Amino acid sequence: MTKKQVVGAIALVLAGILFGVILTSGFNAVKPTSALDVPIIGSQDKPTNTRFDILSTQNAFVQVAKEVVPTVVSIKVVSKSEGGARPFDFFHFFGPDFEFKIPEPRPQEGMGSGVIITKDGYILTNNHVVEGGEKGSITVTLWDGREFRGKLIGRDKLTDLAVVKIEANDLPVARFGNSDELQVGQWVLAIGNPLGLNLTVTAGIVSALSRNIGIIRDSYGVENFIQTDAAINPGNSGGPLVNLNGEVVGINTAIASRTGYYQGYGFAIPINLARKVAEDIIKYGKVRRGVLGVQISQLDESTAKGLGLDKPRGILVQDVISGSAAEEAGIKAGDVILECEGKEVNRPGELQEIIARKRPGDKVKLKIYREGKTIELTATLKPRKEEEEVAEAKDVEPPAKEIEPGVVSFEKLGLTVASLDEEARCKYKVKNGVIITKVEPFSEAYDKGIRENDIIIEADRKPVRNVDDLKKIIQSRKSGEVILLRLRSSAGNRFVGLKIQ
């Protein structure tokens, strides 16, 4: 092969390589698509390591029960009811000569649970367990059967907690955990005396955190409950909720139920809050509570975007009380509190609990979002004054009053509704819905032609299966907003928009 032929062959090979590179890169840049191409569905991450050793878990339950049961007590309270008051129009019905004796107060008995927190006999329980004990008697029964007369040291209505003292020594004492570290899904045990069945242990998980269920009827009430599906019944109140380390993480307080008995939802006061309340009651005879002085509410998506946030997070300051710790710290209406003491707060109860664990004079660090910027402020809490305005914004949702199980009145709509039974579903030929049992004259609903026996089958384009569905949808609306109802009546189906007054 001549030199010229060798050079030509090399040039040809180089040209082929160059053409291949160009061709390949071109195909990579413009990848042909196909109608069969689909996106990757589902996470491609490796499964979470969730190895479960049932024998170890069983042994943990047994060990925790052995350790904690001796620290749990039964509390019986006998109180005197107030005598019946004379009716205002008594003489109108019976005349002045009718002889009437006001009945003697009759004793009432209540039962609950408690947990021993000191060796010398201080016991933590719920306020509603011992309410009335001041004028009656409190009997405390230990796990070994011994009974003691209990003395009420103090009660706190705002957290539904109380402390009772018995004269005893060398008692077994419960260990406290850290409720701030609780996570949804964590195993917990509830221990108490439900339905008179002493020292019953039930197991479940932490179902949710930071629940506000509206049982403390005070504008300063602190509700930031732990929700659990461990069975809790009447009599469990005041008993401990414990983790698998045998540490008390909550004080069982309430259940969500239509029957008054367990239906899967129990609520406990976080122990970090309960501990502070107990310490104050023991030391001062009452709770010394610091106040920030703001009206707050939870953020919804629209309001968050209106304030410039990417998503709902933090607590919105609706108003600042004049002369309060918040005002002196520079907090303004329209601010969003993102963190308190380094902890994120996204529900009013979370902020309220942190503040409730502080005392007057304590300083709290706050991270604030204001007009697109994040700033940090420090507030020095002040004592609570009875004449101060509420610490949380008043409920702006329309009231929903339960008349009886399955029957709810929505006063601001002028409607009373009831759930449909199977017979009614067949009669009205509907799968879902609630029946309107009453329409208030001259109400918004009445003026729109809504009448008794109309069926609400949808609200805001969502199916309504029962009164609870409708209640949740309506309570998500604020005064002045419109809710769209779809009704079925003898005339057929129709949509009606009602403005919430």
Residues of the chain below pLDDT 50? 21-30, 83-100, 102, 386-398
Question: What pLDDT was estimated at residue 100?
Answer: 45
Report d(CA 215, CA 250) in Å as an integer.
17
Read off φ and ψ for residue 328, nearest 5 degrees: -65, -25
β-bridge mates for residue 409, sequence order: 401, 416
Convert 273-303 to b/e letters by CB count within 10 Å (16 or more is b): bbbbbbebbbeeeebbbbbbbbbbbbbeeee
Question: What pLDDT was estimated at residue 447?
Answer: 73
Model pLDDT for residues 414-457, shown as the tens digit of each residue: 789 988 877 777 877 888 888 888 888 756 687 778 888 888 88
Kindly report the pTM of this predicted structure: 0.63
Q: Let me know the angle formed at the C-alpha of 220 by 296 and 316, rounded to the nearest 5 degrees.
A: 5
Say how many CA atoms lie within 13 Å of 356 toward its Cβ: 30
The answer to whether residue 74 is catalytic is: no
Report d(CA 405, CA 466) in Å as an integer.
11
Question: What pLDDT was estimated at residue 82?
Answer: 54
Report d(CA 281, CA 288) in Å as an integer.
9
Question: Catalytic pick from 207, 237, 419, 443?
Answer: 237
The answer to whether residue 219 is catalytic is: no
Question: What pLDDT was estimated at residue 414?
Answer: 79
Question: What pLDDT was estimated at residue 303?
Answer: 84
Question: What pLDDT was estimated at residue 469?
Answer: 86
Helices (H), 218-316: 271-284, 301-307
Question: What pLDDT was estimated at residue 27?
Answer: 46
Nearest to 252 by CA among 107, 119, 67, 68: 68
Question: Catalytic pick from 74, 79, 156, 160?
Answer: 160
Question: Catalytic pick from 74, 79, 113, 128?
Answer: 128
The answer to whether residue 237 is catalytic is: yes
Convert 96-105 to b/e letters by CB count within 10 Å (16 or more is b): eeeeeeeeee
Question: What pLDDT was estimated at residue 272?
Answer: 92
Report d(CA 63, CA 67) in Å as an integer.
6
Report d(CA 493, CA 487) in Å as an integer.
5
Nearest to 273 by CA among 238, 294, 249: 249
